Structure 1
Amino acid sequence: MNKFWIILAHTYMSKVKSKSFIITTVVTLLIIIGMSNLSKVMDYFNKGEASDEIAVVDESGTLYSPLKEQVESVNEEITLTKFPGNEKAAKEAIRDGEYDGLLLIRLNSTGLPEATYQAMTIADTTTANEIKNSLQQIKTQLAATQMELSTEELAKLYEPVDFQQIALEKNAKTEEELNQARGLVYVLLFVIYFSVILYANMIAMEVATEKSSRVMEILISSVSPIKQMFAKILGIGLLSMTQMAVLLGVGYVSIKQNLDSMQGGFFSFFGFGDIPLATIVYAVVFFILGYFLYATLAAFLGSLVSRIEDIQQMITPMTMLIVAGFMIAMFGLGQPETPFITISSYIPFFAPMLMFMRVGMLSLPIWEPILAIAILIVTIILLAIFGARVYRGGVLMYGRSNSFKDIKKALQLTKNEKNKL
């Protein structure tokens, strides 16, 4: 058992100290800090930048004042200025850089406003959309006046319909609970997806790297393959926990510093306060089981290649399984009760994401997630036994590997090694 812990510690420490891990972590931290401080960053770069000044030619003679008041009350960075000349002179002023845009406003045949916006470029739609929305408000008011609608009648006309959804099934989740669960499941699905795909690839790369340096020939003779394989899997697992703890910790602190208050805690602030504890527990369980499932698969696939360049080709089918599970889970967020989603949630390679999604979205009987967990555990055990046999023979194979027929060759080498012993 001492050899197991030695390999585990070596795998963990070598990866933690590696330049790639440090650079990846630092870059990700900078992205998280940048995203959580995005408003401050934008304000810094926009500091000292003049507001957009728009020349207005009002052919109606009545629309300029209410439009100016409406636009500037919504966005202080847009200034409407009544242009004293005609459209041709205004265009020349824009070309000379005196204004950022030209707005022509008029009344149509029905007495309602219409407008044309002109600028040197229309790639930035922010200003145009702000003006358009403000002009829409004025049009609505004028139309209401023409139809002799009162303010109360107009408000009633645009009032959203009162539409409620009530579940009749016992213990079914309410609409509010579903919205909260959907948000949390969506976030955690991304965490499971990116974590599994990243760290499973890292395990395959670790095995292939050691194999290419012929270190495996020494290790395999002194440590059983299953100990060696799971030492690497746990070592990378601890590495992932370390990295995620750092990223989540820095993200939490950064977000908290940029919010005026975080009443009720982090989860409550973002609308996740009423999520049942069981959902969080299932998220952790399915994440761990999903990691071990794909990590075991990645370890013995990595043992089949001798060159790092062949890693991506060998693990592509595994990556496609992860992507398929994620895409099905995204589809299932809107329809979690469909038979296809239900059946797929018991397939071990999809269960970490699909069953967790169903647990979060539906009130399932306890036997369903327990059955999925049992299937996952059995699959991991069988995959570990089979994987250990492939791993033992695979690490002794050298040369270019392009086919899964090499699995048969690896099993034969394992059998030969046992016969020698």
Structure 2
Amino acid sequence: MSKFMTVMMHTYRSKIKSKPFLITTLITIGLLFVITNMNEITKMFGEDEVSKIGVIDRTGETLPALQTQLKQTSDDLKAEAFTKSENEAEKAVLDGKIEGLLILDRDASGIMTGTYKAEDVTQQSLIADVELALQQIKNKSAAESIGLNQEQLAAIYSPVSFAKESLSDSAKSEEEAAQVYILVYVVLFFMYMAVMMYGSMIAVEVATEKSSRVMEILISSVSPVTQMFGKIFGIVLVALTQLALFVAGGFLAVKLNGQLSGSESIINELKLNEIPTSLIIYALVFFILGFFLYSTLFAMLGSLISRVEEVNNLMTPVVIVIVAAFMIAMFGRENPESGFVAAASYFPLFTPMLMLLRVGMLSLPVWEVALGIGVLVGAIFLFAIIGARVYRGGVLMYGNAPSLKLFKQALLLSKQEKKNTTDI
């Protein structure tokens, strides 16, 4: 146990003190603060967020209604009368003095029309706000022309009462689904990134030790199995440390945004603080178990290669499996009750992502969740046994091109090495 702890803590300390870990963590947390508080940051630099458009009102009566409508629907868009010629207005747009030019007129039948001119008409949000305001003015004018008062007009455009009820016992309410949707998505994405990043880290470290012949010295004092699991546990601690720092940084960024903007934070707005504790526990359980599963595979594969340059070649099959699991999970977000998603969630390499998805999006019976965890734990033990044997023999193999045929050779070497150790 002391040798295992030594390997684990050495791996952990060396990684968290490394420049890539520190730089990646600081940059990621910094980006979280910048993205979360982008609006407040732009205000600090004095940027004017209000877009102004010039209006040539040939109807003689639409501009005041447009200004009133825009004031009600948009805080960052203002319409101002442009009293000069259309050519001068177009020049003002090209010079950047105004965002765009709106020409209001009437067609032959007396119906209001609008023409919007801008340097670039791909600013869909701004144009949509103007178009929506004009549509509402037109609707109001049409209603008044046929004698409808404000109360009647409000009744016409009032939203229909529409209630939604789930008949399935396993379905969650709309509010519950909204609460867990973001959590499940974030955990799935981080699991995907963590397995890709830290799993390859394990393989690269093993390959680096082999390429420098350090492994021949290490195995004389520490057994290969102890080394493998010490590295896996050490890098799991690194991943959990970085995850905790990301979560803490994201939480502080959201809280800061709420204080600076004076509005309710997204945590309270989406009621993320009301997410069931059981779901958070499940998220941690599936993340840790899934990470152990893939880490064992990556350590095993890393022991089969002799050079760091060969890591990517042998990692490709595992990466394809991870990508497939992530893509199925993205499909399952919209179809969590799909039979395909349910069946795939019991395939060990897919279980960490898909079972978490189903637990979050559906009200699954306890036995299904327990079965998924059992499948995952069983697969981890199986992969650990096979991985330990392959690792024992693989670390002594040099000069071979990356190939799945190396598994057999590694197992034979492992058996021979174990026999020699027993004889001694």
Q: Which residue of 2 aligns with 1:323?
A: 323
Q: Which deviates more from structure 2 when the two are superposed, residues 92-101 or residues 81-90?
A: 92-101
Alpha-carbon distance change, 285 to 262 in structure 1, aligned in 2, over 3 angstroms:
farther
What are the residue-to-residue correspondences of 1:211-290 with 2, within 5 Å? 211-260=210-259, 268-290=268-290
Look up the equivalent residue of 1:106 and give its one-letter code.
D
Alpha-carbon distance change, 52 to 317 in structure 1, aligned in 2, over 3 angstroms:
same
Alpha-carbon distance change, 165 to 75 in structure 1, aligned in 2, over 3 angstroms:
closer
Kindly indicate whether the alpha-carbon contact (under 8 Å) linking 1:300 and 1:387 is maintained by their aligned counterparts in 2. yes
1:130 Cα deviation after fit: 2.9
Q: Which residue of 1 aligns with 2:148?
A: 149
1:287 Cα deviation after fit: 1.0
Residue aligned with 1:106, SS: strand
Q: Distance in 1 between matches of 2:172 and 2:22?
A: 43
Tell me whether 1:377 sits opposite 2:377 in the alignment: yes
What are the residue-to-residue correspondences of 1:285-296 with 2, within 5 Å? 285-296=285-296
Residue aligned with 2:248, SS: helix
Alpha-carbon distance change, 54 to 25 in structure 1, aligned in 2, over 3 angstroms:
same
1:169 Cα deviation after fit: 4.7
Deviations 1:112-161 (A, max 9, x none): 32211112333444443332222222122112223433323333333333
Tell me whether 1:104 sits opposite 2:107 in the alignment: no
Alpha-carbon distance change, 94 to 239 in structure 1, aligned in 2, over 3 angstroms:
closer
Q: Which residue of 2 aligns with 1:65?
A: 64
Look up the equivalent residue of 1:336 and give its one-letter code.
P
Residue aligned with 1:222, SS: coil
Residue aligned with 2:375, SS: helix
What are the residue-to-residue correspondences of 1:12-411 with 2, within 5 Å? 12-45=12-45, 47=46, 49=48, 52-72=51-71, 74-75=73-74, 77-95=76-94, 99-170=98-169, 172-260=171-259, 268-399=268-399, 401-411=401-411
1:349 Cα deviation after fit: 0.6
Kindly indicate whether the alpha-carbon contact (under 8 Å) linking 2:179 and 2:270 is maintained by their aligned counterparts in 1. no
In structure 1, runs of 5+ residues without a counterpart are: none
Kindly indicate whether the alpha-carbon contact (under 8 Å) linking 1:56 and 1:80 is maintained by their aligned counterparts in 2. yes
Kindly indicate whether the alpha-carbon contact (under 8 Å) linking 2:7 and 2:227 is maintained by their aligned counterparts in 1. yes
The size of the alignment, in residue pairs, is 419
Residue aligned with 2:101, SS: strand
Alpha-carbon distance change, 151 to 211 in structure 1, aligned in 2, over 3 angstroms:
farther
Look up the equivalent residue of 2:256 and give its one-letter code.
Q
Alpha-carbon distance change, 96 to 304 in structure 1, aligned in 2, over 3 angstroms:
closer
Q: Which deviates more from structure 2 when the two are superposed, residues 83-92 or residues 5-14?
A: 83-92
Look up the equivalent residue of 2:148 and give its one-letter code.
L
Q: Distance in 1 between matches of 2:146 and 2:302?
A: 74
Kindly indicate whether the alpha-carbon contact (under 8 Å) linking 1:226 and 1:385 is maintained by their aligned counterparts in 2. no
Kindly indicate whether the alpha-carbon contact (under 8 Å) linking 2:254 and 2:267 is maintained by their aligned counterparts in 1. no
Residue aligned with 1:111, SS: coil
Q: Distance in 2 between matches of 1:86 and 1:269?
A: 48
1:404 Cα deviation after fit: 1.3
Alpha-carbon distance change, 271 to 111 in structure 1, aligned in 2, over 3 angstroms:
farther
Alpha-carbon distance change, 22 to 44 in structure 1, aligned in 2, over 3 angstroms:
same
Look up the equivalent residue of 1:39 and give its one-letter code.
N
Q: Which residue of 1 aligns with 2:6?
A: 6
Look up the equivalent residue of 1:54 and give its one-letter code.
I
Alpha-carbon distance change, 242 to 138 in structure 1, aligned in 2, over 3 angstroms:
same
Residue aligned with 1:81, SS: strand
Alpha-carbon distance change, 258 to 58 in structure 1, aligned in 2, over 3 angstroms:
same
Q: TM-score, normalised by structure 1?
A: 0.91
Deviations 1:239-292 (A, max 9, x none): 1111122222222122212214798x9855532344332222211111111011
Deviations 1:39-72 (A, max 9, x none): 1222234x15495443322221221222233335
1:78 Cα deviation after fit: 4.0
Residue aligned with 2:334, SS: coil
Residue aligned with 1:333, SS: helix
Look up the equivalent residue of 1:366 and give its one-letter code.
V
Alpha-carbon distance change, 403 to 112 in structure 1, aligned in 2, over 3 angstroms:
farther
Q: Which deviates more from structure 2 when the two are superposed, residues 384-393 or residues 398-407?
A: 398-407
Deviations 1:375-408 (A, max 9, x none): 1111111101100111111112222533211222
Look up the equivalent residue of 2:205 and give its one-letter code.
E
